[in-house]
Structure 1
Amino acid sequence: MTESVPEVVAAPLPADAGAAHAGAALAGAASESATATTPEGAAAADRAGNAAGRAARNRGRRGGKDRGGRNPEGAPAAAQAPAPQRVHPALEQLAGLYPHLFGAVFRPLKRGIFQDLLAAHPELFEREALKVALGIHTRSTRYLQTVAAGEQRHDLQGQPVEAMAPEHVHHALLEVYRRRKNQKGRPTEDLLPKLRNRMIAAFEASGLTREAYTELVVGRDVAANAILEEAFAEWAARNAKAEALLRAFEASGSTLEQFADMYGMDPRSTGQQLERARKLAAAKAAPQADGGAAG
């Protein structure tokens, strides 16, 4: 089995509490949607609501008997708290053996890490248990965050050995966004601007053309594809603004400080935009130079 980063996780099996919370939120949202989309579901929801109301009133009438935070059976309310989620035994072993990969800080794993682990510890890990443990680990939100950051893949010694594929970065960005968006109790916040900014950064870091990048990452998810198009539109607008700024700067004959002061701009951010425009101009000129040399 060759370990790979899941592109879009439909049913996450998180290793960390944050991922478990996000997985529960996704499941809950799906359940609510399924119930409310049909007349039968709506009627069932009404009956459930009426039953819940009667139960609440009954508990209120018994309030005198059940004071002190105890449930009807007399057990303390604190005893009803859910038990903490247990970590898979193989993951505990991996964290002890390779804390630089599975410990407090996660690192993206090289492809083929499953075979490497079996070869390094033939007597320690049962094949299927290790497969399940790695699946839980690589679908956890913490792991996906490292992939979304574009970190390189690492071997068992913790050495970076392979660049993360652009499509894996892109799909990890989308999955982390979905989990955060559906996380219960999260403050109302528009996460799309941050997602688009990170998509732009991931695209620029890939070094690919827009066409090549699109061919790699676009899938069947219409909503995800639409977000990518919005990110490309923002990227194009930034480029146009930077190019216009460079033309104005070159025509002014001023120094950077003078130019920024003239337009009430921050010299540092102005310099960054000018550098961006110069890189864009160089990238556009490169294919033309190659074509001329070939001719």
Structure 2
Amino acid sequence: MTDTTQPNTATDARPPAAPRRRRRGGAKTSPDARVAPPPQPGARPPRKPSPVLERLFALYPRLFGARFVPLKLGVYEDLLARHPEDFSPEELKLAMGQHARSTRYLESVAAGHPRHDLDGNAVAPVAPEHVHHAILELHRRRHPRTPADAQAGLNARLVARVARAIEASGLPHHDYAARVRSRDASANAVVDEALITLAAQAAKREALLRAFEASGRGEPEFAEMYGIPLDEVRRSLQQARAARTPAT
């Protein structure tokens, strides 16, 4: 008779199997089973890159590659003349329009980079009005606003950027304003606010220059006396002196 209290060495001697741990995030899937989730209803499918733009990237990676730069006016005609077998006029026009409206291209224009020819040479500055309109368009894309939002006030960063663009243009402020005025009341309000900001800054610089002239001190001593960084004092004094000099 068999003693049933003794362990069976073939089965009972083995320790019980540890419970299987479940992976976080659900069951493990094979690489072949990993598929993209279905698109949400109403979502736009990703836009495929234009074959013409892909060809332009291959031909001119410095212009249409990872870094965009403003292109010279008339580059469309230059491309047709240089590559008559590569592009049809209609397809090239559509592709160039898509490129010029892209956010990355607008960023390069808004930054004030010079225009380049097909050989990658900087050939001309971007017109101040083109810089201005690129700044406004980028702001609209990144900060869409309802009419109610527009009544709430102007965006301080946009005003500051337009003010910097006005100064970088080298134009008298009234000339810049005349160039960029449009039928868009909100855009004109941004320009007006930027001009007010610049006028206030100019007044502060003039006051600083007068205080410096009355102090009888050198720039380092004056900066220390007012607790202003020396570089800032020198820059402000230089700008104030330039503003006093009539344009020739």
Aligned residue type for 1:104: A
Q: Per the alignment, in what secondary structure is the counterpart of residue 161 of structure 1? A: strand
For the pair 1:120 / 2:78, whether they are aligned, the reply is no
Partner of 1:198: 161
Q: How far apart, in 2, do the equivalents of 1:161 and 1:286 lie?
A: 26
| 1:144-155 equivalent positions in 2, closer than 5 A | 144-155=106-117
Q: Which moved more, 1:264-273 or 1:101-110?
A: 264-273
Aligned to 2:239: 276
Taking the aligned partners of 1:264 and 1:280, their CA distance within structure 2 comes to 24
Q: Quick check: 2:154–2:190 contact (8 Å CA) kept in 1?
A: no
Q: Distance in 2 between matches of 1:120 and 1:196?
A: 42
**Comparing both structures, which one devotes a greater share of its residues to helix?**
1
Q: 1:226 aligns with which of 163, 184, 189?
A: 189
CA separation in 2, counterparts of 1:77 and 1:100?
35
Task: Name the TM-score, length of structure 1 as normaliser.
Answer: 0.66
Distance 1:99 1:76, change over 3 A: closer
C-alpha contact (below 8 Å) 1:181/1:191 kept by paired residues:
no
* CA distance in 2 between partners of 1:204 and 1:251 (Å): 28
What does residue 237 of structure 1 align with?
Answer: 200
- Matched with 1:211 is 174
Aligned length: 207
The offset of 1:238, in angstroms, is: 0.2
Please name the residue that 2:72 is paired with. Answer: 110
Contact map agreement 1:153 1:162 (CA 8 A) in 2? yes
Look up the match of 1:138.
Answer: 100
User: Unaligned 5+ residue runs, structure 2?
Assistant: 1-25, 28-32, 146-152
Q: CA deviation at 1:77?
A: 8.2
Q: Distance in 1 between matches of 2:86 and 2:124?
A: 27
Q: Deviations over 1:48-104 (max 9, x none)?
A: xxxxxxxxxxxxxxxxxxxx79xxxxx988431475431010000001100111000
Q: Distance in 1 between matches of 2:154 and 2:188?
A: 16
Q: Tell me the amino acid that sits aligned with residue 215 of structure 1.
A: A
- Matched residue type, 1:154: H
Letter in 2 for 1:263: Y
Post-superposition Cα deviations, 1:208-246, rounded to whole Å, max 9, x if no partner, equal 222221111110100010011000000000000000000
> What is the correspondence of 1:241-260 to structure 2 with a 5 Å cutoff?
241-260=204-223
8 Å Cα contact 1:150/1:169 also seen in 2: yes
Distance 1:218 1:78, change over 3 A: same
Contact 1:177/1:191, CA 8 A, preserved across alignment = no
Following superposition, the deviation at residue 191 of structure 1 comes to: 8.7
> Which residue number in structure 1 is paired with residue 63 of structure 2?
101
* 1:194-215 CA-partner distances (Å, limit 9, x unpaired): 2222212221222222222111
1:79 to 37, 41, 46: 37
Using the alignment, how far apart are the partners of 2:50 and 2:154 within structure 1?
Answer: 32
Q: Matched residues in 1 for 2:155 and 2:170: separation?
A: 23
Residue type at the aligned position of 2:181: V
Q: More relative contact order in 1 or in 2 (CA 8 Å, sep 6+)?
A: 1
**Aligned equivalents of 1:80, 1:286: Cα separation in 2:** 63
- Match of 1:80, SS state, is coil
Larger radius of gyration: 2
* 1:165 paired to 2:127: yes
Counterpart in 2 of 1:41? none
Alpha-carbon displacement from aligned partner over 1:120-141 (angstroms, at most 9, x marks no partner): 1111112111111000000001
Structure 1 vs Structure 2 CA RMSD: 2.3
C-alpha displacement at 1:193, in angstroms? 2.4
